Amino acid sequence: MPATNPEHRHFHRIAHDAPALIALEDSSLAARTLDLSLRGCLLEIDPAVALAIGAPYPIEIHLSDDVRIAMRGILIHRRERRAGFECEHIDLDSISTLRRLVELNLGDPELLDRDLEALAAQGPV
């Protein structure tokens, strides 16, 4: 079961307000990014849209017009408008962008190193 106490988290979360898209079978769901980490994201979504816990969804987070993070995330929890996704796969460009975003927001290279070590210990993304 994922830890909900911030002291038990293995990855630092970065609050970030950015538009996102979740690809569904026949459409896309507009979302809003609430926070990001090296291991996943928390998105704000329409509570009327049904998403399956445990199912993978392609996600694009648009940091700017020409910078995005693309990942396939597994929906691990949902509460009203908030949906938490664990990153199942992320391409090299996206992980590089995410790493830089985390690095800039943490401001402490040691914290980033700890997150990267925890990511490596959990296996491939």
Q: Say if CB 85 and CB 44 are below 8 A apart.
A: no
Which residues span the domain enclosing 14? 9-122
State residue 62's pLDDT score: 96
In a domain, 115, yes or no: yes
Q: Say if CB 94 and CB 71 are below 8 A apart.
A: yes
State residue 6's pLDDT score: 44
The CATH number of residue 56's host domain is: 2.40.10.220
State residue 114's pLDDT score: 63
In a domain, 110, yes or no: yes
CA distance 44 to 72: 17
In a domain, 63, yes or no: yes
In a domain, 103, yes or no: yes
The pair of structure tokens assigned to 99 is 């790493």
State residue 4's pLDDT score: 45
In a domain, 74, yes or no: yes
In a domain, 35, yes or no: yes
Answer yes or no: pTM beyond 0.85: no
State residue 12's pLDDT score: 62
Residue whose structure tokens are 């988290």: 9
State residue 57's pLDDT score: 98
Q: How many domains does the chain contain in total?
A: 1
In a domain, 87, yes or no: yes
34 Cβ contact list (under 8 Å, min separation 6): 15, 16, 17, 41, 42, 43, 44, 82
In a domain, 3, yes or no: no
Q: What is the pLDDT along the chain (125 residues), one digit of tens a residue?
A: 344 444 444 556 777 899 999 999 999 999 999 999 888 999 999 999 999 999 999 999 999 999 999 999 999 999 999 999 999 999 999 988 888 887 777 666 565 566 556 555 555 55
